[in-house]
Homo-oligomer: A and B are copies of this chain.
């Protein structure tokens, strides 16, 4: 009898261990907002509540920040596709060389014509999960690694990782089991169900997979959320760990009113376009709230990581925005497309699982390619050989409290050898930069000139220190770091030679 009990005990123990292991595999959600600026929230990422923080309403982001860690010095790249490729692959823009947004159709570099420079030889077809596709960055996406390790992987919303005619344009070829509305396009033809999201027009940006909502008074953000939650039902019911990449098309233009919130902002005195923009923000935040409520309802919130991030700074061109251009991310300078902080500094909040750090703020600079190794750490998946080198560094240490908040000495690189918009404006086109510690050095390829800013003393990058004697050693060091890295990466740089 004793022996039998002992034997039974061992069996029960083994069963329990395997059950615990099964439970331990956490779920992971990336909640990616398009074109959301650092100030497009009621949660202050700056040290003080800004004017914009007082305008916008994002209670669920505030809630999320209380549940996890808010990164106040988080970076993406200045535009969409480069950031999305970095997130999915762990590569810095200098490595993947998808340095601008990708066209919906392949072999169509998106740069503007320029008198001084030719279109550089960048990977204008985007990311590819297989080698040998011309003008693509070959890499294994995190979604594929997670799928290969038993994760149920879902993409919903904007994809925009590659141009059509290549495998990277297809979420089903990037390791996603479910794809909802993900294509090679970077914006919707319309956000409105009443307009069928523009799908029944000649505009190629009509949103796919959204027929159920045609003709209805529903905003795309809401429809995508409903579909994403529907897709979660199978893994949740069958206790499969899941990875949800929810990429909202909001806040990308066309700016269109989310009628649930629009009137409120008009009443607050905002102009029409700004009220539209504010309503899109609140609709996005409502989606986040719905995700949180779903996780709470199914009692899986303690076992689910959430990464909230934007792919670049808030759009600050007028039109489509109203008001003074380049001011919509104030106190940051400029906006989407710019190498200034308004173009690259983004909201980032990461909520961990049970036992992780809560309600903390981290000032250490982090960058979007860090998300890849962070997710790997979260999933505890071991991977062997990858085609790409991982430039990112896991932020998991901040969540489990092992890594300290400090100024950090890691250099973060930004690189735009492209002409994104017609006018160089406020930090657009042909710029590279490195941030290290408090300082940021910007290189202007057109003028072969530099700018240097102390971001703690001068978050608005108004005070160019490049000629200041006391910081010459820092300027020299950063110039060296930046050019060495650009050179070693073999990344394209602006060039007069017409390349083919």
Q: How far is the CA of A172 from the CA of B419 in the complex (A)?
A: 40
Q: How far is the CA of A184 from the CA of B212 in the complex (A)?
A: 9
Q: How far is the CA of A178 from the CA of B166 in the complex (A)?
A: 21
Q: How far is the CA of A231 from the CA of B170 in the complex (A)?
A: 12
| A294: chain B residues within 8 A (beta carbon) | none
| A212: chain B residues within 8 A (beta carbon) | 164-167, 169-170, 172-173
Supposing A172-B231, A238-B150 touch, asked if A183 and B211 sit within 8 A by C-beta, the answer is yes
Supposing A147-B234, A234-B147 touch, asked if A165 and B7 sit within 8 A by C-beta, the answer is no
Cβ of A215 under 8 Å from chain B: yes
| A183: chain B residues within 8 A (beta carbon) | 211
Residue of B whose beta carbon sits closest to that of A106: B215
Cβ of A179 under 8 Å from chain B: yes
Q: How far is the CA of A173 from the CA of B231 in the complex (A)?
A: 10
| A196: chain B residues within 8 A (beta carbon) | 164
Cβ of A8 under 8 Å from chain B: yes
Cβ of A195 under 8 Å from chain B: no
- How far, in Å, is A182 (CB) from chain B's closest CB? 9
Chain A residues 179-227 with CB under 8 Å of chain B are: 179-180, 183-184, 196, 199-202, 204, 208-209, 211-216, 227
Cβ of A474 under 8 Å from chain B: no
Contact present for B204 and A165 (CB under 8 Å): no
Interface size class of A (residues with CB under 8 A): 35 or more
| A115: chain B residues within 8 A (beta carbon) | none
Residue of B whose beta carbon sits closest to that of A196: B164
Cβ of A11 under 8 Å from chain B: yes
Cβ of A105 under 8 Å from chain B: yes
Cβ of A500 under 8 Å from chain B: no
Residue of B whose beta carbon sits closest to that of A183: B211
- How far, in Å, is A227 (CB) from chain B's closest CB? 6
Contact present for B209 and A179 (CB under 8 Å): yes
Q: How far is the CA of A371 from the CA of B11 in the complex (A)?
A: 44
| A382: chain B residues within 8 A (beta carbon) | none
| A173: chain B residues within 8 A (beta carbon) | 212, 230
Residue of B whose beta carbon sits closest to that of A154: B177
Contact present for B7 and A227 (CB under 8 Å): no
Q: How far is the CA of A374 from the CA of B180 in the complex (A)?
A: 31
**20 sample A-B contacts, Cβ–Cβ < 8 Å, listed by A number:** A1-B3, A3-B4, A4-B7, A105-B214, A105-B215, A152-B234, A164-B196, A164-B211, A164-B214, A165-B214, A167-B212, A172-B230, A172-B231, A177-B177, A177-B178, A177-B234, A184-B211, A199-B204, A208-B208, A208-B209
Residue numbers of A with Cβ under 8 A of B are 1, 3-4, 7-8, 11, 105-106, 147, 150, 152, 164-167, 169-170, 172-173, 177-180, 183-184, 196, 199-202, 204, 208-209, 211-216, 227, 230-231, 234, 238
